[in-house]
Structure 1
Amino acid sequence: MPSSAPPPSSTVPTGAAAASKRERRKEARPGELLEAALELFVEKGFAATRVDEVASRAGVSKGTLFLYFPSKEELFKAVVRENIAGRFAEWNDELESFEGSASDLLRYCYKVWWERIGCTKASGITKLMISEAQNFPELTLFYQHEVIQPAQALLRRILQRGIDSGEFRALDLTHVAYVVVAPMIFLMMWKHSVGACVPEGAGFVPEKYIAAHLEALLHGLCAAPHGTGVVPASPLSPSSPPPLSSSSL
Structure 2
Amino acid sequence: MPTPFNLCDIAANARAKRERRKDARPGELLAAALELFVEKGFAATRAEEVAKRAGVSKGTLFLYFSSKEELFKAVVRENLSGRFVEWRLELEQYQGSSADLLRYCVNTWWERLGSTQAAGISKLMMSEAGNFPELAAFYQAEVIIPGRELIRRVLQRGIDSGEFRPMDLTYGVYNVLAPMLFLAISKHSGSGCMPANEPLDPVKYINSQVDNILYGLRARAAPAPSPT
Q: Please indicate, yes or no, whether the TM-score normalized by the shorter chain is above 0.5.
A: yes
Taking the aligned partners of 2:86 and 2:215, their CA distance within structure 1 comes to 29
Aligned to 1:99: 95
Say what the alpha-carbon RMSD is for the aligned residues.
2.3
Alignment-mate amino acid for residue 62 of structure 2: F
1:216 lines up with 2:189 in the alignment: no
Which one has more relative contact order, counting CA pairs under 8 Å at least 6 apart? 2
- Partners of 2:165 and 2:220 within 8 A in 1: no
Alpha-carbon spacing, 1:21–1:62, altered in 2? closer, same or farther (3 Å)? same
Q: Structure 2 regions of 5+ residues with no counterpart? A: 222-228
Q: Is 1:149 the equivalent of 2:174?
A: no
Match of 1:84 among 53, 72, 80: 80
Task: Spell out, residue by residue over 1:61-109, the C-alpha distance to the aligned partner (whole angstroms, 9 max, x if none).
Answer: 0000000000000000000000001111000000011110000000110
Amino acid of the residue matched to residue 53 of structure 2?
Answer: R
Gap regions ≥5 residues in structure 1: 221-243
* Superposition map of 1:234-249 within 5 A: 244-245=217-218, 247=220
| Offset of residue 203 of structure 1 | 3.5
Cα deviations across residues 102-157 of structure 1 (Å, max 9, x unaligned)? 00000110111001110000000000000101000000000000000000110010
Compare the two structures and name the one with the higher helix fraction: 2
- Higher radius of gyration, 1 or 2: 1
Structure 1 runs of 4+ with >2 Å offset: 194-203, 244-248
Aligned partner of 2:224 in structure 1 is: none
Query: Within the alignment, does 1:30 sit opposite 2:26 as a pair?
Result: yes
1:126 — aligned with what?
A: 122
* 2:16 maps to 1:20: yes
Residues 218 and 246 of structure 1 are in contact (CA less than 8 Å); yes or no, is this contact kept in structure 2? no
Which residue number in structure 2 is paired with residue 39 of structure 1?
35
Structure 2 contact 113–119 (Cα < 8 Å) conserved: yes
Residues 219, 246 of structure 1: 8 Å contact kept? no
Return the letter of the residue paired with 1:247.
R
Q: Kindly provide the amino acid, as one letter, of the partner of residue 74 in structure 1.
A: E
| Aligned mates of 1:126, 1:20 — CA distance in 2 | 39
Deviation at 1:194, TM superposition (A): 3.7
User: Is residue 2:156 matched to residue 1:160?
Assistant: yes
TM-score normalised to structure 1 length: 0.83
Residue number among 153, 171, 175 corresponding to 2:167 in the alignment: 171
Q: 1:17 to 1:210 in 2, by over 3 A?
A: same
CA deviation profile, 1:1-54 (whole Å, cap 9, x unmatched) = xxx558xxx9x9611111111011100000000000000000000000000000
Helix, strand or coil: the match of 2:220?
helix
Task: Normalising by structure 2, report the TM-score.
Answer: 0.90
